[in-house]
Structures are given as structure tokens and as C-alpha cells.
Amino acid sequence: MTFPALANALSTALVPLLLLVIPIAGILRRVRVYDAFVGGAKEGFNVAVRIIPYLVAMLVAIGMFRASGAMTLLARAIEPATRLVGMPAEALPAALLRPLSGSGTLALVSDLMKTHGPDSFVGRLASTLYGSTETTFYVLAVYFGAVGIRRTRHAVAAGLLGDLAGVAAALLFCRLLF
């Protein structure tokens, strides 16, 4: 069996398997699964209310970053290096925006899908980048802000290093699979 076929078979079976295993594990441990789910949903709503001010501030900053043209300048500056490793220039803005904004990146990825098609290498790479990297600055601004963490120096470096690893892994696996 080829690697792409094995990956496809595994990914097809994994989600239904998790949907079965998690509730069964809860039942075996005598956890009231539905009550735990509802309690988590209530807590999630309260967290959402607490983080709204941080979210608004972050979205305004991201909007300013994109509207100022800084995103385009940054992409142009990095493009020669990405060309050396085989990353298409079209996917670079998605990789750069992802640490800042999930919704902004989703809009870029959607645009790439319309332009290049979902089965193109650029479309598949952009989708994989979206799923394998994190909204680092969003997490720092919103979640760290909600719990009062102010010193984020090491968290920024670790998050951005993780994003870089995600971009490298996305490029590697897309080259292997597609």
C-alpha cells in the first residue's frame, strides 16, 4: 500500500473511531458524559465573554497590519528564501498571516482555492498550512490576556518556532503526498 493510500485510509477511519472511543471511555469511567459536555459548553461561553475585549483589540491590529501593506512587504522580502525550499509564492501570505488570524487566513486560503483549485498543489499546501499551524498572536493576546499573563516573551518564540515547524512539515508532507 502506498503512503498516500495509507494516510487516506487512516484519516477516513480516525474521526469515527474517536467519536466512538471517547464516549465509551467516559461511560467505562462512570462519567456522566452528557452532563460533562454541557458543563464544558457553559464554561466555554463564560470564557468567550471574558475574552471579547482582547479579541477586538487583536482583530483591529491585524486589520491595520494588512491594510497598511506590511503583509505584502513582508511576503516579498521572504519570497526568495521560500522559493529555494520549493514553497510556491502564492501560499506564502497564508503562512505569514496564520500566526495572526485564523479567519484572515481562511479568507486567503479560500481565495487560493478559487484561483488555483482545491486539488492544485497550492490549494492543498494552503489547506495543510492552515491545519498545521496556530494563531500564535491570537492565542497570546486573547487567552493569555484573559487569564492575566503579561510576560509572553518565551511564549512568542516557542509559538513562532512551532508555526515554522508546522510550515516546514506541511511543505514536506504535501511534497510527499501530492
Condensed to tens digits (0 to 9), the pLDDT of residues 42-64 reads 988 887 787 788 778 777 877 78
Residue 29 lies in a domain: no
> Confidence class of residue 141 from pLDDT cuts 50, 70 and 90?
confident
Closest CA to 175 of 1, 2, 4: 4
pLDDT of residue 133: 94
Query: Alpha carbon 130 to chain centroid distance?
Result: 5
Contacts of residue 11, defined as CB under 8 A and 6 or more positions apart, other chains included, come to none
Query: In this structure, how many other beta carbons lie within 10 angstroms of the beta carbon of residue 156?
Result: 13
Closest CA to 54 of 136, 135, 145, 137: 145
Residue 98 lies in a domain: yes
Residue 5 lies in a domain: no
Residue 9 lies in a domain: no
Segment among 48-52, 87-91, 110-114, 156-160 with least mean pLDDT: 48-52
Residue 27 lies in a domain: no
Residue 15 lies in a domain: no
Q: What is the pLDDT of residues 100-131, one digit of tens each?
A: 888 888 888 998 999 899 999 999 999 999 99
Residue 30 lies in a domain: no
Check if the beta carbon of residue 97 is closer than 8 Å to that of residue 104: yes
- Model confidence, pTM: 0.66
What domain range includes position 109? 50-177
Residue 40 lies in a domain: no
Contacts of residue 170, defined as CB under 8 A and 6 or more positions apart, other chains included, come to 125, 128, 129, 131, 132, 133
- What is the number of structural domains in the chain? 1
Return the amino acid letter for 26. Answer: G
C-alpha cell at 119: 486539488
Check if the beta carbon of residue 83 is closer than 8 Å to that of residue 89: yes
